Amino acid sequence: MHVVVLASRKGGVGKTTLAGHIAVQAELVGAKPVAIIDMDEQGSLASWWNVRAQDTPSFARIGEGGLRRTLDGLRNAGTKLTVIDTPPYATREIGEIVRYADIAVVPVKPSPHDLRAVGETVDVIEAARKPFVFVINEAPTNGLLTLQAMRTLGKHGRVAAVIKTRQDFRSTMIKGGTVQELFPKSKSAAEIAELWGVIGATLSKQGVQYEPAA
């Protein structure tokens, strides 16, 4: 089983939306069964899952024994991929969660404040010696800001995808869905597919080949 962790020391960068979309995209391309875990006390990912019409991906709650035992249980049950949403700000907690990651996904908004804050997240992930990729999330139509963010982040790691600001992300999450499910031919769905392509390729190098479903 592989573990993808959404990590950012800064709040409001769209971790929960990306976590749900990554999990669904993984299911669509055959990396299933997929589970999600919500480690953020706000419980936004859990709320999204509770209003879903579909019962996949599955939702795993942390019980006795903590995250380690939960992941062991998912692995023993045959889960192929687990996506974990993390709390913002809590450096120690994020560091503990990232230790279980096969890859960390770091969402960053293309703004000076967000770019200045990303170094703390990278430090936590590098301390755990885990691979990571950046996602420029909620990018404005102003291409200059996005290009500047790509250049800045590119000095520290790979930018896996640029996710533009669009209403379809918000509307689908409210309904318990994702853009791939409700708007499969949209630009937003294509951007999520691009993001998963990088994540899946990275995980494939670690021993599991994720091929599109027939």
16-33 residue pLDDT tens: 999 999 999 999 998 899
Tens digit of pLDDT for each residue in 95-109?
Answer: 999 999 999 999 999
Q: Which superfamily does 2-203 belong to?
A: P-loop containing nucleotide triphosphate hydrolases (3.40.50.300)
Average pLDDT over residues 173-186: 95
Number of H helices, E strands in the chain: 9, 7
- Return the closest-CA partner of residue 3 out of 131, 195, 153, 127: 131
Task: Burial-class residue 98 by CB neighbours within 10 Å (0-12, 13-18, 19+).
Answer: buried
Is 10 in a helix, a strand, or coil?
Answer: coil
Query: How confident is the model over 190-196, as a mean pLDDT?
Result: 96
Residues paired with residue 106 on neighbouring β-strands, in sequence order: 134
- The whole-number pLDDT of residue 116 equals 87
pLDDT for residue 213: 37
Q: Give ∠ CA 204-123-59 in degrees, rounded to 5.
A: 50
Mean pLDDT of 195-210: 81
Q: What is the pLDDT of residues 47-104, one digit of tens each?
A: 999 999 998 999 999 988 899 999 999 999 999 999 999 998 877 889 999 999 999 9
Mean local confidence (pLDDT), 196-201: 95
Q: Where are the beta strands (DSSP E) in the chain?
A: 2-6, 34-38, 58-59, 81-85, 103-108, 132-139, 158-164
